[in-house]
Amino acid sequence: MKQYKLVAGPTTSQFVGKTDASNDSDAVNSFQNVISQYAAQGWSYHSMEPINMRSSETKGCLFNKQTIYHEKTFYMLVFEKDI
């Protein structure tokens, strides 16, 4: 039988404002650090699942209403181990 653990991965907001090359490298290192941390505790990496969140807000009044949509993707890292 297996036990599973879901862990929130690093968010993209941690990498905003950096050049593309350092952004990619920092993102890879962040995910690698999380995976290594749980591997040291006996967990095996299973997969990474995206979770898309969407929200909206309405600004303005009566005749000048404007709906603004926000989207954000979170990544859940899935780990497993035998119990």
**For 21-25, 27-31, 34-38, 55-59, which range has the lowest pLDDT when averaged over its residues?**
21-25
User: Radius of gyration of the chain from Cα atoms?
Assistant: 18
Its pTM stands at 0.67
Does residue 76 carry a pLDDT above 80?
A: yes
pLDDT in tens, 55-70: 888 887 777 888 888 8
The DSSP line for the chain is: -EEEEEEEPPPGGGGTTS-HHHHHHHHHHHHHHHHHHHHTTTPEEEEEEEEEEEEEEEES-TTS-EEEEEEEEEEEEEEEEE-
